[in-house]
Structure 1
């Protein structure tokens, strides 16, 4: 593992729909690699003193995404670490280009039924508050799939063990870096 960690010269950024496991898998991946972990949604909330849902409601999605883009740009210019982004962060073309240039991007892709189940655990997802979760997630998946597909690594996850997903990411990063 140390050899892989020594090869890393930029952050690892997890992208994907809400509920894909970016935060949970990100924490475990960081621990596995001996790297720090940062969740961009938590960073936004700490910097603003408000929840993501409140920021969405107060300022709208456009302004939220603008602030998110600036924060993510700062995060990838820091140390080598694992970063979990919000579900829509990678949809901004400037953010996507920046992340693909300055980080290793990993798309966590999970089936809609699993995403719908996982997102019921907390009511902090503003885009899911107005309608059927599975329908909204299916629509978002269709709208965002091409953007997420620009990530350098694509990992399919599901209802299996988080450790298996972490190991799949570690193997894919090793292959990506030519290890």
Structure 2
């Protein structure tokens, strides 16, 4: 089996499957799975909501960039980022220079099906969460479109099947993944 030469950074909307597909992808590639939000929570010993409340979003975003930069410098892995991480130009540049971004592109209806019953999505605690999701989705699409690789979700594929689809997309990038990995 080949070797992962760069960290694969999963980007996309909440509910896109960054954590689930990223975990399966890491397993298929035989590398570690990391989550930037979990790294921030562990370092701060507070939830993201608590960080936002106590220190503000700017503080959180600065820590997020530090964590992403640190993980990109370490052993290549699969890294899941929060939905807002790829909106920052500095994060996009760091990821593009050192890793490879993979946008899990999911249509709005499927995203809504996945997130509508979740209580862990503070951005959707609004009077009209579907409209809020649409607004976020439309605002973020141009940023996600800057990803190095786009992999379209298929609601009929399992998580493992989606991870295999990402491996296939990565196999066309010899700077990231040597031929033969995951096959």
- Work out whether the TM-score is over 0.5: yes
Larger RCO of the pair (alpha carbons < 8 Å, separation 6+): 2
Deviations 1:94-139 (A, max 9, x none): 0100001100110011122222232245422221122322211211
Q: For residues 95-174 of structure 1, what are the structure 2 equivalents within 5 Å?
A: 95-160=91-156, 161-174=158-171
Structure showing the higher helix proportion among its residues: 1
Deviations 1:148-177 (A, max 9, x none): 111110011142211221111001000122
Counterpart residue number, 1:176: 173
- Answer with 35-44 or 131-140: which moved more: 131-140
Assess, with a 3 A threshold, how the Cα gap between structure 1 residues 97 and 78 changes in structure 2: closer, same or farther.
same
Assess, with a 3 A threshold, how the Cα gap between structure 1 residues 88 and 134 changes in structure 2: closer, same or farther.
same
Residue 21 of structure 1 deviates from its aligned partner by 0.5
Counterpart residue number, 2:16: 20
Q: Which runs of 5+ in 2 are unaligned?
A: none
Say if 2:83 is the partner of 1:80.
Answer: no
- How many aligned positions are there? 175
For 1:91 and 1:120, the matched residues in 2 are separated by: 23
Q: Which runs of 5+ in 1 are unaligned?
A: none
For 1:120 and 1:171, the matched residues in 2 are separated by: 30
